[in-house]
Amino acid sequence: MFMNPNNSGFNKHTLNPDICLPSDHVPLIIEVGIKEENIDYTFQAIKKDSEEEEAFIRDIIKGIRNIDTSDLKNQADIQRCVTVLSTTFKDTWSIHSITKRITKHSKE
């Protein structure tokens, strides 16, 4: 294993020969420092059992019902329906979901 000795976040390591069992390899334990203030992640979500969830489901059902499947003759026709279905889910999710942000102050 190679570690950068100039990187303070990765230079805390120990060899642990007590847990090598019958192997001739010695486990190397590296402590990696992760700063909490660097946590900043966003994602889209819909709160369970909310009005937004009900509206999302209602619009998905409406979108699926509106897909014309009456004249599917070949692979291109099926692909067209799948594309419409995919777009329906994507657009409906965008309309009803909200952006949430995870930071160091967020609940676990």
74 and 61 both lie in a single domain? yes
- Tell me: do 59 and 83 sit in the same domain: yes
Looking at residue 95, its pLDDT comes to: 95
Whether this prediction's pTM lies above 0.75 is answered by no
List the beta strands (DSSP E) in the chain: 12-15, 28-31, 40-45, 98-103
Same domain? For 22 and 52 the reply is no
Domain that holds residue 74: 37-103
Structure tokens at 14: 């120990």
* Per-residue model confidence (pLDDT) at position 45: 93
| pLDDT tens, per residue, the chain with 108 residues | 556 666 665 566 666 667 666 767 777 777 666 665 566 778 899 999 999 999 999 999 999 999 999 989 999 999 999 999 999 999 999 999 999 887 776 776
100 vs 66: CA distance, rounded Å: 31
Query: Do 43 and 20 sit in the same domain of this protein?
Result: no
The answer to whether residues 21 and 66 belong to one domain is: no
Phi, psi (deg, nearest 5) at residue 41? -135, 135
Q: Are residues 51 and 92 in the same domain?
A: yes
Indicate the number of domains in the chain: 2
On whether both 60 and 24 belong to a single domain, the answer is no
Distance CA 94, CA 74 (A): 31
Distances (CA, A) of 100 to 3, 8, 68, 97, 106: 36, 32, 35, 9, 10
Q: Could you tell me if residue 21 is left (phi over 0), alpha (psi between -120 and 50 degrees) or otherwise beta?
A: left
Q: Is residue 108 part of a domain?
A: no
Residue 44 resides in a domain: yes
